[in-house]
Amino acid sequence: MPGRLGHSSHFWQRNRLIAALSAATVVVEAGWRSGSLNTAGHASALGRPLGAVPGPVTSAASAGCHRLLREYDAVCVTGVDDVADLIGALPADPPSERATADATSVDTDSLRVRDALSSRTPRSVTAIARHTGLAEADVTGCLGMLELEGRARRTLNGWLRGG
Q: What is the pLDDT of residues 31-71, one digit of tens each?
A: 888 878 888 888 888 888 899 998 888 888 888 889 888 88
pLDDT band of residue 4 (cuts 50, 70, 90) is low
Looking at the whole model, is its pTM more than 0.85? Answer: no
What values do phi and psi take at 93, rounded to 5? -120, 140
> Partners of 51 in the beta sheet?
26, 75
Residue 100 has pLDDT above 80, yes or no: no
